[in-house]
Structure 1
Amino acid sequence: MNLIEQLAWLFLLPLPIACVTWTVTHEEVFREPREFCARRCKNGKSLIERKFFYLFTCEYCFSHYITVLFIFLTHYKLLLTDWRGYLLAGFAVIWIANVYMSLFALLRQSIKLEKAEAEKVEKEVERK
């Protein structure tokens, strides 16, 4: 794989990783399992149990495991062709996936703010 292909993979592979990670750790469809994990994380009897269940509530932590899965499925390596290429790819992809999730969070926050402001203006107009 040449450098251009590697860079394309570097910026495209984090997209589904960020999507899966965000969906599991934030969206309504996984609310009940996430709440279960949050309870087990807070009330677990052992350190291992608490840390294991924490992984499903933290997007940064969960993105590591999703990245390992995707790199295993795609055999993506960055710059080097041996095991070090997997290591470099893993950390680079995790970082970019988390940048994508941060940008998405900012976008959602901005949209919610604009929506709240619009609703406030609509209520003021209705009162007049």
Structure 2
Amino acid sequence: MSLNEQLIWLFVLAIPIACIAWTVTHEEVFREPREYCVRYSNESRTLFKRKFFYLFTCEYCFSHYVTIFILILTDFHLLLMDWRGYLLAGFSLVWIANVYMSLYNLIRIDLKKERLLAKKEEESLKS
């Protein structure tokens, strides 16, 4: 694969990683399992159990596991065709996916802010 193709794959594969990691760790559809994991990550006595359950509540942590799954599924390498290419691809995908999630979060906060300001203005006009 050429360098251009690898870069396209890198930025495209980061999209489903970000989508899956964000959905599992933030969206309402996974609220109950996430609350279960939060409870156990706070209340478990052993370090292993606390860290295991925490992985499902942090988008950064969870994105590593989604990335490993995507790498196995796609056999994507970056720059080198051996195990080092997997490492480079893995950490690059995690980083780009987290940039995507950060941008999404900023856009989402900005939209909420605009909605709240519009609602406040609408209420003041009614009064």
Match of 1:74 in 2: 74
Superposition misfits of 4+ residues, deviation over 2 angstroms: none
- Take 1:126 and 1:32, find their aligned partners in 2: how far apart are those partners? 39
Give the match for residue 42 of structure 2.
42
2:72 aligned with 1:65: no
| Match of residue 3 from structure 2 | 3
For the aligned residue pairs, the C-alpha RMSD in angstroms reads 0.4
TM-score by length of 2: 0.99
2:88 match: 88
Give matches, 1:11-50, under 5 Å: 11-50=11-50
Aligned residues: 127
Residue 13 of structure 1 aligns to a residue whose secondary structure is helix
Identity %: 61
What letter is aligned with 1:120? K
Gaps of 5+ in 1: none
**C-alpha separation between the residues in 2 aligned to 1:72 and 1:103?**
27
**Partner SS, residue 79 of structure 1:** coil
2:38 counterpart letter in structure 1: A
AA in 2 matched with 1:85? G
Aligned to 2:51: 51
Q: Structure 1 length as normaliser, TM-score?
A: 0.98
Equivalent-residue separation in structure 2 for 1:40 and 1:123 (angstroms): 42
Q: Which amino acid is the alignment partner of residue 93 of structure 2?
A: V
After TM superposition, give the deviation of residue 45 of structure 1 in Å: 1.6
Distance in 1 between residues matched to 2:94 and 2:12, nearest whole Å: 12
Deviations 1:41-97 (A, max 9, x none): 000021000000000000000000000000110000000000100000000000000
